[in-house]
Chain A
Amino acid sequence: MLHGRRASRRPDRTLPVPAPRRSLPAVTAFLRRHASLLVIAAISVAAGVALWRRDGGDAVGRALYHAWELFLFIMPSLLAGLLLAAALRQLMSPGALGRWMGADSGWMGLLVATIAGSLTPGGPMAAFPLVLVLAGAGADRGALVAYIMSWTLNGFQRVLVYELPLLGPNFAIMRVLITLPMPLLAGWVARRLPIAWEPPK
């Protein structure tokens, strides 16, 4: 059901996806939009049925109540996190940052990338296109690897909204402190790998 020509009708054509990989982006665009929801819903239903058959309806009800409690617990952070992310997106100027992250920026550039990454709010739909903006402004592959690593490992939004409340402050603070310098290392390694990368036009 997903043919190459569907790529031309993708609504998110603003994403700079290179032309030769047309059929795959068509598939992935579809996956991107619905796959997680479908897969999780399927697992959820299967697990619910399995629990109902093993322990009865009461157990299912209890589990759903736990889920509701978890939702109420996470809701205040979620709302604040979304508001903060949206506000930061209005305030940040990635182009200005990218100039600090060139190939000869050394550790300083990696540090700027690491700080920028951990301050970047939002999911992959925001972060990966930002990589292209930073690359356009002059950031090199090492800085961009550091940037993505820092966003995913130590992004403030993810840590504050999910990890801290759910896994506890002890755990979250320890993990963040341990992984804090890792984007710098990854960026340093990436600059030395013999793999040339050009941002897709």
Chain B
Amino acid sequence: MTPGQAFLWVLAIIALGFCFRKGPAAAHRAGVDAAKNLLKILPLFAVALPMAAFLAELIPADAAVAWIGPDSGFKGIAIGSVAGGLMPGGPFVTFPLVLAFAKAGAGVPQMVALVSGWCIFALHRIITWEYPVLGWRFVALRMISGLPLPIAAGLISELVVEVLPISLGVR
């Protein structure tokens, strides 16, 4: 178990402890809730992980270098931001895919832009959740105020990478 996983388990056990203090019913509801969500996620994992693995094999080793490689600069950061917003699905889909990009030679600032762009713009999430629940005015507010952020994040991390040896911890 990695330190990050251990930390997460400690947090989970502490939170469950607080639930028990509130009452066994609350703890039981939490357990049922977690189990239901696991059952919802497992089918997605079953298709998303093979997809990412197949794509990682299909994408040539240096395919991403020209577009979002470490030397692609501002252009690569802009491409990463837009491509991130177009990536479909939740984290169980996106992160394995991002891993495939990383293996294909993407640069660190470009990956920061890609991940941030996916977080902020996620088109599928706007269509299926944000617009129906909150309306287009909220979408517009959030999109306009968030527009420069993925590119800004990419540019800042380009400065960071020049000073610190940040690497992608690809397994």
Contacts and interface: CB of A to CB of B under 8 A. Distances in A.
Interface of A: 15-18, 21, 24-25, 28-29, 31-32, 35-37, 39-41, 43-44, 47-48, 50-51, 54-55, 59-60, 62-64, 66-68, 70-71, 73, 76-91, 122-125, 128-129, 131-132, 141, 144-145, 148-149, 152-153, 158, 160-171, 174-175, 178-179, 182, 185-187, 189-190, 193, 195-197, 199-200
Contacts of B49: 67-68, 70-71
Contact of A163 (B54, B90, B95): B95
Contacts of A158: 91
A85 B9 contact: no
Interface string B127-171: 111111111011011101110010011001100100010111111
A153 to B, nearest CB: 5
Interface in B53-111: 53-58, 88-93, 95-96, 98-99, 102, 108, 111
Contacts of A168: 167-170
Interface centre among B11, B47, B132, B149 (most CB of A within 10 A): B132
Contacts of A193: 141, 144-145
A87 B15 CA distance: 6
Interface of B: 1-2, 4-5, 7-9, 11-12, 15-16, 18-19, 22, 26-27, 29-31, 33-34, 37-38, 41, 43-45, 47-58, 88-93, 95-96, 98-99, 102, 108, 111-112, 115-116, 119-120, 122, 124-125, 127-135, 137-138, 140-142, 144-146, 149, 152-153, 156-157, 160, 164, 166-171
Contacts of B141: 141, 145, 190, 193, 195, 197
B4 A153 contact: no
B48 to A, nearest CB: 5
Contacts of B19: 87, 90-91
Main secondary structure of the interface of A (DSSP, over half): helix
B23 to A, nearest CB: 9
Contacts of A195: 137, 140-141, 144
